[in-house]
Structure 1
Amino acid sequence: MATADAAIVARVAARQKRRHFQPILLWLVPILGLLFIFNIFPIFASLFYSFFDYEMLQPLKWAGLGNYTYAFTKDPVFITALINSAYFAFVSVPVGMALSLFVAQLIHSRSHLKSFFRTAYFLPVITPMIAVTIVWRFILQPSQFGLLNALLRNFGIPAQPWLTSSSRVIPSLIGVSIWGGMGYNVVLFLAGLVGIPTEFYEAAKMDGANSWQQFWKVTWPLLSPTVLFVTVTNSIGNLQVFSIPFVMTSGGPENASRMVVMWIQQVGFQQFRMGYASALAYIFFLIILALTAVELRYLRTRWSY
């Protein structure tokens, strides 16, 4: 009798679980459907189109690996854009991280107004990048009416072609990028610094370590998980930079500031060569994937505290 009652209770409980479980599945269907349509499906569709000579409203023409070989053999703009993106990322990431860590250390060492400085440095991150870029374009105007050149003129320095010189345009864009992303990195480094136990610093002081030695022997090793995360995310973000050069220079002068994502956008949505644009996107994806794998391989720590 007890066994029969237990079986009945188990069936009722299972029926109630199914009754509660089905509405959850129904709620997930539209969300997963939108995720598939707008995120997953385009990934495989782009891979499919990358093997075709496909222009919008035109029939598909099989190209095989033709689009991929064309990118490296007959498209000098892509090679230039790839070099520009690498230059932009490999300079802005280490410089931006060093400045962010320095600022985070200064804020962390203060006993007052930590929240104020943390908020102040984070404001550029939450400000719309397009608006910020327009303001910086005015500041860096190459004529004498640009704000920065007007300030330099007070010191007897002539107007500088910040955005019209092939040698100065990318450093100028790097400065804007570092300014815009520093707050995000500062907050991450502050979180990492707060997580380091103070006992380690006290032990280092007892051993006679100065501030510089404490940084290299205590702070830097224990910040390695944060450094890894910031390095990977910043590398991916800076390689994919689009809005800053697009608004400030449109790739000029003479493709000196044209980045890979800008070239993909132009090929796909201005020239309507969707097949070739898809191939460029996958080439760039593989490059970023390889770089990320290298960073994870050499920056990931094998220990924790």
Structure 2
Amino acid sequence: MSTNTVDRQTQSAPPARRRGATLTQRQGRWGLLFAAPATIHIALWTGLPVVVSIILSFTNYDMLNPPEFSGIDNYVTLANDPVFWKALGNNFIMAVVGIPISMLISLALAVMLNQGLRGNSIFRTAVFLPHVTATVAIAMIWLWIYSPGGNGLLNIVLGFFGLPNQAFLASPSQALPSVILVTIWQGIGLKMMIYLASLQGIDQQLYEAADIDGASAVQKFFRITIPMLKPVTFFILVTSIVGNFQTFDLIYNLTNGGPANSTTVITYQIYQTAFQQFRMGLATAQSVVLLVVLVVLTIISRKVTGGKDD
């Protein structure tokens, strides 16, 4: 190869790189352009309210008079408020008890439906129906099921076995477990559908290779299925935690936080503080604490499940 040829190739290389860089830059600009509407929407309707809430959490504000700066007084009040800690504790109990049970049942049902059994579509619809049913309607159904005396379905069943009637939602010791049971029942459908979609996306060649190696059904489940479901398990866990700490309408319609604050949750207390007591500054401080709790729990969930950004 002559020296002139080498020189010409060397001189032509930078423009090629420049063209590649220009293409990348154009793609980046178009990407930003297409993402701009969603970014602006999130910034205006999520980011801005969060910033305003953080600012208001350091004020005394009753929605009638201008906010007055009060420093960390609202957070000091929360630290010494036993009802706030009770509400936060109830949320944690609901999450620790209800979410794992709901996820295990959902996974079991998804695995069963993935076998292609007869009547899959009908069963899938029946299980998913509570998720798309209005929570008020669900609360009315369960109020009848839990109704004390001889009119409630559950007490009728207990009476059939000779057991005494129970005041499920009126008992401080039974109210929270009764609410947890409703949240489990209501949340199974969506989790099951997500697991089922993920199961159907697993490459069947992995199972065929395991069959050739002589792996049992249990080994295939724990060595192939469970690892392949890690990303979706992380997604379900995080959304379930967020949904658990956002529980409001079910509590409002079933128990109103009672009896004796045994079913009060953080969102219900925020509602009471803001719209019954008109202590908006304190309510926003409660909201900020809830935000911090959710961020911490999301990070922990990521570590536990091995969640990935991809």
* TM-score, structure 2 as length reference: 0.83
Correspondence for 2:280: 274
Distance 1:34 1:287, change over 3 A: closer
What amino acid sits opposite 1:178 in the alignment?
Answer: I
Correspondence for 2:79: 72
1:133-162 Cα shifts (integer Å, max 9, x gaps): 111111111322211101211111111221
Secondary structure of 2:151's counterpart equals coil
Secondary structure of 2:166's counterpart equals coil
Correspondence for 1:49: 56
Whether contact under 8 Å (2:102, 2:184) holds in the other structure is yes
Distance 1:229 1:35, change over 3 A: closer
Aligned counterparts of 1:303 and 1:201: Cα–Cα separation in 2 = 26
Distance 1:41 1:214, change over 3 A: same
Correspondence for 1:98: 104
Aligned counterparts of 1:83 and 1:295: Cα–Cα separation in 2 = 18
Aligned counterparts of 2:134 and 2:71: Cα–Cα separation in 1 = 41
* Alignment pair present for 1:137 and 2:143: yes
Aligned counterparts of 1:33 and 1:164: Cα–Cα separation in 2 = 46
Correspondence for 1:63: 70
What amino acid sits opposite 1:56 in the alignment?
Answer: M
RMSD: 2.4
Aligned counterparts of 2:224 and 2:108: Cα–Cα separation in 1 = 15
Distance 1:156 1:37, change over 3 A: same
Of the three residues 277, 288, 303, the one matched with 1:297 is 303
Whether contact under 8 Å (2:171, 2:259) holds in the other structure is yes
1:194-273 alignment, distance < 5 Å: 194-273=200-279
Whether contact under 8 Å (2:231, 2:308) holds in the other structure is no
Distance 1:157 1:54, change over 3 A: same
**CA displacement at 1:62 relative to structure 2:** 1.7
**CA displacement at 1:111 relative to structure 2:** 4.0
Correspondence for 2:194: 188
**CA displacement at 1:188 relative to structure 2:** 0.2
Aligned counterparts of 2:223 and 2:113: Cα–Cα separation in 1 = 20
**CA displacement at 1:257 relative to structure 2:** 0.3
* TM-score, structure 1 as length reference: 0.84
Secondary structure of 1:158's counterpart equals coil
**CA displacement at 1:61 relative to structure 2:** 2.3
Aligned counterparts of 1:34 and 1:288: Cα–Cα separation in 2 = 22
Aligned counterparts of 2:251 and 2:175: Cα–Cα separation in 1 = 9
Distance 1:98 1:34, change over 3 A: closer
Secondary structure of 1:80's counterpart equals helix
What amino acid sits opposite 1:103 in the alignment?
Answer: L
Structure 1 stretches lacking a partner, 5+ long: 1-23
Identity of aligned residues (%): 36
Question: Structure 1 stretch 113-122 or stretch 127-136: which is displaced more?
Answer: 113-122
Distance 1:247 1:214, change over 3 A: same
Secondary structure of 2:263's counterpart equals coil
What amino acid sits opposite 2:221 in the alignment?
Answer: F
Correspondence for 1:109: 115
Distance 1:152 1:270, change over 3 A: same
